[in-house]
Amino acid sequence: MEEDQNINSESQNEEIKETESEEQIQEEQEISAEKKEEVKEVTPEEKIKVLEDKLTRTFAEMENQRRRFEKEKDDAFDYGGFTFAKEALNLIDNLERSKLILESDEVLKGTDALKKTLEHLEIINKDLISIFTKNDIKPINCLNKKLDPNLHQAMMEIEDDEKEPGTIVQEVQKGFMIKERLLRPSLVGVSKKKDQKDEENKENLDK
């Protein structure tokens, strides 16, 4: 008797599982049918609109890429010699150093040989500047101008009550631009107000 009841119970469970499985399959089929209907419901006009959007985005990306290539090409043409130009500035620096060494030589001071040598060095310097200028490499004029971090690099402060603080009063090394780009900054000394305490101490010492 108990065995019959167990068999009936198992049979009922299997029937329930089969029923649930059939219901689940039916639900999945209904969902799939609904999705298919949704896909089918897309109108030709909507498809055309989607394609037009994709086409517009593609053209925009192509135009942006074309502009990037154009800019890279222009930069390569305009600034392709940037490194060479920066290295070439060493010639001007070395000429300037040579002039200072010769001018400070006690043996050569006041001699015609020194005068002629300095004249030749000055001619070479002007020729170099002229060549640079023809190739859009120009020196930065900085004396008596306000310090601009984009163009100048302050190396020292110099006490000067006649100039506004931050005014360039000394050029340590000349800076250059290549077209609109900084080739190297000007190394400069800028003015600052005299320290009031130092002035008072000086006055006390004088007294």
Domain locations along the chain:
2-75, 80-135, 140-207
- pLDDT digits over 92-108, tens only? 888 888 888 888 888 88
Residue 204 has pLDDT above 70, yes or no: no
Residue 139 has pLDDT above 50, yes or no: yes
Give me the count of residues in the chain.
207
Residue 72 has pLDDT above 80, yes or no: no
Higher pLDDT, 16 or 172: 172
Closest CA to 192 of 154, 156, 169, 165: 165
- pLDDT digits over 59-71, tens only? 788 878 778 777 7
| Calpha distance 54→42 (Å, rounded) | 17
Q: What pLDDT band is residue 175 in, cutting at 50, 70 and 90? A: very high
Residue 93 in contact with residue 125, Cβ under 8 Å? no
Total-model pTM: 0.55
Q: What pairing do the DSSP bridges indicate for beta strands 152-159 and 186-192? A: parallel
Report, as an integer, the average pLDDT of 179-206: 74
Report, as an integer, the average pLDDT of 78-91: 78
| Calpha distance 163→205 (Å, rounded) | 26
| Calpha distance 115→106 (Å, rounded) | 14
Q: What pLDDT band is residue 6 in, cutting at 50, 70 and 90? A: very low
> What long-range pairs does 66-72 form, CB within 8 A, spacing at least 24?
none
Residue 18 has pLDDT above 60, yes or no: no
Domain 140-207 matching CATH 3.30.70.20: the answer reads no
